[in-house]
Structure formats: structure tokens, C-alpha cells
Amino acid sequence: MLRILFLLCLSLGAAQFPNAQPTAEQQRQVDAMFADWNRHGSPGGSLAIVSKGEMVMKQGYGWADLEHQIPNMPHTVFYAGSVSKQFVAMCVLLLEEQGRISLDDELRKYLPELPDYGTPITIRHAVHHLSGLRDYLTLWQIGGRDYLDRLNKQAVLEMIFRQRALNFAPGTAYSYSNSGYILLAEIVERVSGQSLRQFARQHIFEPLGMSSSFFNDNTYGLIPNRAFGYRRGAGGGFENLLMRFDLVGSGGLYTTVEDLAKWDRNFYENRLGKKSPQLIEKLLTEGRFSNGQPCGYAGALVPGQYRGLRTFSHTGSLGGYRAAFVRFPEQQLSIILLGNAAEFAPEQKAYAIADVLLAGQLQDRKSPDQTAETNPQAKPLPVLSAQELPSAAGRYYSEELDAFFTISLKNNELHLRPGNLSAIPLRDLASDPSFSLEWERGGKKKEITGMVLSIGGMKNFRMLKQN
């Protein structure tokens, strides 16, 4: 009965979308949005528009490989960034459907190396970014390492397991944490006895016919039809933005817009696991805080609204790759974009395409005063006198990262140098609203003995001064 009602709702929603096939004029307007990318010597991306389970438009723009002048096509393979996370969430749900785990199990049941923080962190917390776990990409970078280079999986896990504190008590706040999804992937592997790549292939990609999709856990492997990542160079052209990143969980999916169209079709008639509609409903169920309020994040899909229409979406980015997956479930319309330039803006383009295809159904845009939001304000740096500035300079060590940091004084201004990376003026870091710094002091003279940093997905991170 539940399945019948579920499919009935979908069919009623589908009837609201007036044009299954874009008109020639709509296609012209869509193509025009990519004119700046669809030119000689430029990277770009690939697009799929899916209506009622069928691709009604697919196109490539620009080049996948500038050196060999190979164009982007609908079958071109791109790195999908955090769009990968919904597939990890599905792997978790499939294990639950098999009776091998529960979303309410504690992470430590499968990952005993994780510290006991005095309050349980569940699989459900990790799925919805309610865990409080510090973000490993931020930790890795602030430790002076380049995460576009190859990250050793065991070293990353050990770093996560070394963290002595959480950003907040699990379930009490939302903070996007790539660490949570790295740990979810590790649970999938430990419980199933397969790599995430193998499990996803057997239980998701093969059943859906996604023959070009896989989690790349081997940076040395060959990837047929791959688009390479680029960014604009100082001279105005494009340059390679190389990466050897091969961790899976927080990202790691290589795929095509054609394959993602097959994934999209499965939201309306599930063919995975026991083929139950409840599996899809769980993936689309928004997480909740401990007080019962919704947190704004489902199974690695963000529920929202665009000009009065309900949406589910997610974006992805790493290196020179950009991705956006935007669904209008009642209209059974999805817009899928994968790009290979750091400056490519797929989410913006996806909603601009929706403006064209859903004209007449969308509400008028709100006036600027109605949509204005209060931007978070950057926190001022703690003031040090001219006499105190030299005492802040020195080398600092973090046991949790097993990494050194250098604070230097140049022209009466403090700079932070993580590891062997370039030094960054503290005032530049302080322009980020998520950044804060507190100096720790000790001894009779109250000299600086350490500092506590917060930035992005890393809060209250302590570093002790060594000299």
C-alpha cells in the first residue's frame, strides 16, 4: 500500500511539468549559457537534463583535455567531489536494509579507535553532519599538507582518531564534516568485507547500469575518457590543476552525466537492494537535531526550495573539478552538471537552466530587501601590544596533527606558516568569519605559551609553543 501511495504521489507530481522535451528555443538559451566555455582552448563541462526519467538534453562544452584537444562529451568522466556522498549514504542504507548495521549504532561499535568523547556519536549523526567531528581536510591543510596530493588513508584515519575534542556535542549543531563520511566509508568496508569501490559497484553501479562510475581508490589507475582539471593562469589562459587525491568517502566518485541520469531515475522507481521505495524515502529524509528540529541535510542531499518549487541538491568541488546535481522532484526534472575548470559555476548554471525550463511555474523572485541575509561577521584578532608581538613569534606544535606551525613577525605583522607551506598573514585568515584565535599565556610574566585556533570545520584546536 505504501509503495502504491509513493508512486501515485510521484505520478501526480510529474503531471505538473508541461514540456518533457525542451523546445528548440529553450535548448538555444541553455547552450548560450555555456558560450564562454564552449570555445577553442577552454575547459568546460557536460550537461544532462532529465525529465520523467529520460534524458531530454545532453551536451558537452569545451575541452576535456587541452593538451590533446579532446572535447567534453556526455560520456566524459569527471571527478564529482561531494556529490559522491549520496552514494556513500546509500551504501550505509543498503547495509541497514541487509540487517548488518543500524543508523543508531555508535561509530565506536565499528571504529573502536575513535576516542570516547563522553557522548555517543551515531552513524545517523555522521550521515547528517551532526557528529561534531573536526573536518579532516581542514586539519590536513592547517597541518601544512596539500590535500590535492595523495593522502595516505591510514594516516588520515589516525589523524581523525587523535582528535581530543569535538566541535560540539553530537546532535546539538550542524557542521559539514568530511571526516564523518570518511568514517562511514570505513564502516562500509569493515562490515561488508569489501572496499567501498567494490561494494558500490556490486550494489549500486551495476544494478543501475552506471558502467562509467566508480570510487577511485587508486591514484595510479587509468581512467578512460577522463576530463582533466584546470584553472585560469596568471596570463589569462588555463593551466593544469593536478591532483592525486584518491581517498573515498567524502568524495572519490568518478562519473558521467549520463550515469548520473540513471541514478536520478532510481529516485522514482527504486531498483536497488530489496527494491523498496522506503530505501529512497530514507535517503531523502532530513536529519534532526537532538531537540527534534530539522537540520537541513538528508542523506547527502540538501532539501530546499527554489522560487516556490521543492528541490533536492548537492554540489561538489576539488581541484579543477566542479559538480552540481539539482532535482525538482514534483516536476521530475533534474539538471546535472560536471565541469573541469575551477572557475566553472555549475550550481548557478543549473538554476539558470531551471528558470528557462520551468518558466510559468516559478514564483517571482523576492525583492532584495526580502532576501537579504545577515552575513556572519569576521572576529577581530586579539590585540597585542608592540612589545608583545615578538613574544608571539616562534614554533608551535600540535600533537593531534603531529605537525609544526611557525608564527613569524614581518613589518610588525604576524604571519602563520603551516608546515612547509607559504606563510599567511593572520589578518588574511581573520577575514574568514569561521576563523578565531586565542593566545594562551603562562608563567609569572604571562608570556604566550600557545594558541587555540578555529577555522572552517575545525574548532578550538590547541597548539603549544616550542620556543
- Look over the chain and give the mean of its residue pLDDT values, rounded to a whole number: 91
Task: Examine the fold and report which residue of 365, 397, 420 is the final residue of a domain before the chain moves on.
Answer: 365
110 and 176, same domain (yes or no): yes
Do 297 and 444 share a domain, yes or no?
no
CA dist., res. 251 & res. 256, Å (int): 15
Strand partners, 238: 232
Is 272:203 a contact under the CB 8 Å cutoff? yes
CA–CA dist 208, 194 (Å, integer): 19
Residue 180 resides in a domain: yes
Same structural domain for residues 187 and 330?
yes
CB 77 within 8 A of CB 227: yes
Same domain, yes or no, for 303 and 395? Answer: no
What integer pLDDT is reported at residue 368 of this predicted model? 55
List the beta bridge partners of residue 349.
none
**What is the model's pLDDT at position 275?**
98
CA distance 171 to 79: 31
The CATH number of the domain where 420 resides is what?
A: 2.40.128.50
* 3-state SS class at 425: strand
152: left (phi over 0), alpha (psi -120 to 50) or beta: beta
Q: Which three cell numbers stand for residue 363?
A: 514564483
C-alpha cell at 247: 581517498
3-state secondary structure of 243: coil
Could you tell me the pLDDT band of residue 268, with boundaries at 50, 70 and 90? very high
Same domain as 435, residue 289:
no
pLDDT at 7: 40
Residues 306 and 338 placed together within one structural domain of the fold: yes
204 and 125 share one domain: yes
- DSSP for residue 133: P
Determine, yes or no, domain membership for 314.
yes
List 77's β-bridge partners, or say none: 226
* 357, 394: one domain: no
Kindly state whether residue 230 falls inside one of the protein's structural domains: yes
The pLDDT assigned to 367 comes to 59
Q: What is the mean pLDDT of residues 139-145?
A: 80
Round to whole Å and give the CA distance between 402 and 159.
8
Pair 433, 306 in one domain: no
Residues 69 and 212 in one domain: yes
Q: In this structure, what CATH number is given to the domain that contains residue 324? A: 3.40.710.10
pLDDT in tens, 172-222: 999 999 999 999 999 999 999 999 999 999 999 999 999 999 999 999 999
- What amino acid is encoded at 69 in this protein? Q
330 domain-assigned: yes
Q: Which domain holds residue 358?
A: 12-132+167-365
139 inside domain: no
Residue 127: in which H helix or E strand, if any? helix 123-127
- Residue 253 forms part of a structural domain: yes
User: Binning pLDDT at 50, 70 and 90, where does residue 127 land?
Assistant: very high
User: Grid cell 584553472 — which residue?
Assistant: 231
Round to whole Å and give the CA distance between 297 and 288. 9
Residue 371 placed within a domain: no
Q: How many domains does the chain have?
A: 2
Dist. CA 16–CA 291, nearest whole Å: 36
One domain for residues 267 and 359: yes
Instruction: Inform me whether the pLDDT recorded for 327 exceeds 50.
Output: yes
User: At residue 353, does pLDDT exceed 70?
Assistant: yes
> Could you tell me if 307 and 405 lie in one domain?
no
Cα–Cα distance measured from residue 230 to residue 240, given in angstroms and rounded to the nearest whole number? 5
